Structure formats: structure tokens, C-alpha cells
Amino acid sequence: MNFDEIISQRQSVRVFSDEFPPKELIEAIVEAGRLAPYAGIVQRERESFRHFFVISRNSEIMTPLMALVEKGRLEIMDAAEKDNMRRRYPGMMKVLDMLYKKSADDMAASPWLIVIAEQAGIPQREQVCLGHVMENMWLKATELGLGAKPSSGVADIKDKAAFKALLGIEDEEDYAFDALSVGYPKFPLPIRDENRKPEKSLVWFE
Ligand SMILES: Cc1cc2nc3c(=O)[nH]c(=O)nc-3n(C[C@H](O)[C@H](O)[C@H](O)COP(=O)(O)O)c2cc1C
């Protein structure tokens, strides 16, 4: 696949086969994430600020991880109710009722879950940097013929102290988290054309 094909064929894969992709492929995806841009000023005095954790769906930490995601999602629902979101966005809240008030088993949808921790700083750029890391990894997975999808439940975890303890991150620093589910797609992927959201919107000022 050339670069344009990788970009156009990248897609969210949510149903995976049970086969575990070999660790070398997962490490190639992690390496693509490591090389994603970082906030230069924020990380100026740090050499190590981006950490990867590859979690098998069979790992013993998967259950407590899912519990933290479930707790985070309920807190998001509570905050949304308090903000009157149900009146303003009834459709969105209905979807969240279905997705957020149940088991976080979507964390174990694929054989491997790659969790990324990006150390926070001022100005706050860690979440944006995670977006770059995620995209690099997603495109690399596409190139390798693997399926991937964000598992943003991990980004929704509010009890970061408990999550850091679970991952074995010992320092007191603040981190932002995100995660990518990776595996072989269970079904052949549709070939994608350019006709998809968002609609084209481009304004030139010359
Ligand atoms: C920031 C972000 C978070 C996302 N979180 C999830 C997620 O938690 N679960 C999921 O299945 N898909 C998630 N997605 C995938 C989007 O739903 C998907 O990218 C979008 O519907 C477009 O489809 P495509 O990726 O197949 O082009 C996320 C995408 C982005 C950019």
C-alpha cells in the first residue's frame, strides 16, 4: 500500500478474530507511535515522557482496567445529566445510555490493547499528542494488514492514580491516557472510497 492508500483504507475495525498477531507486529506499531510528534517546549527537559503498555485480552489486569473504565463512564453520564445534556442532545444521550451503562467489554474486543501514557505539562498538550500517537499507530496497523480502533474508554478513566498503580507507573506526575485495540479483522474489510463523512469543506483566501 502506498501512503494515499493507507490513508484512504484506514478504518475502524470492531470485530476481531481470536488469533493473536505476533509481538513483532505490535512492536512495529508501538514504534510508529513513539516517533509521533510531541510538544517540544513541554517536554524540553524530559527524555522519557511517553510510555506504552500492551495488554492481552487474557491478562489479569484486563478486569480491573474494565472496572476503571466503567466507573469513568458513569461519572461522565452523571456530569452530563447535571449539565442538562439529555434535554439538549437527547439522541446522543440515548446512545450513551446504551454504550456507557454496561460492561466495558469493548476494552477486550481485540487480542491486544495498546495503552499509551503521555506525561502532562504546561501548556496542556498531552491529549493532542496522544491523537498523533494514535493516528501513527492506526496507519501503521493498516499498512501491516491489521485491524484497529480507538478504545477511548481508557481516556475516560477518572481515577488516574488507580490506573497508574495498575500499570506500574510509580511517579507522581500527571499523565493522559488513550488506547488502540489491535488484531486481525474477523471479516474481510470493505474497500473504502472517498465518499464518506465529513463532507468536503475547504475555503481558500488568496
Ligand atoms: C478521538 C476518537 C475516539 C474514538 N473512540 C472510539 C471508541 O471508543 N470506540 C470505537 O469503536 N470507535 C472509536 N472511534 C472511531 C470512530 O467512531 C471512527 O473513526 C469514525 O466513526 C469514522 O470511521 P472510520 O474510522 O472507519 O473512518 C474513535 C475515533 C476518534 C477519532
pLDDT tens digits, 16-35: 999 999 999 999 999 999 99
**Site to substitute for ligand 1 among 69, 136, 149, most atoms within 8 A of C-beta:** 149
* Mean pLDDT score, 134-149: 98
Q: How far apart are the first and last CA of the chain?
A: 35
pLDDT in tens, 156-203: 999 999 999 999 998 799 999 999 999 999 999 999 998 999 999 999
The protein residue with its alpha carbon nearest to ligand 1, atom 18, reads 12
* Mean pLDDT score, 106-127: 97
Block residue for cell numbers 470485530? 15
Please give the single-letter amino acid code of residue 154: V
**What is the value of pTM for the model shown?**
0.97
**Does an H or E element contain 148, and which?**
strand 147-150
Pocket of ligand 1 (CB under 6 A): 11-12, 14, 149-152
The SS3 of residue 72 is helix
Q: How far apart are CA 65 and CA 162, in angstroms?
A: 9
**pLDDT of 1:** 93
Q: Determine the CATH number of domain 3-183.
A: 3.40.109.10
**pLDDT of 171:** 78
pLDDT tier, 80 (very low <50, low <70, confident <90, very high otherwise): very high
Measure 11 CA to ligand 1 centroid, in angstroms: 9
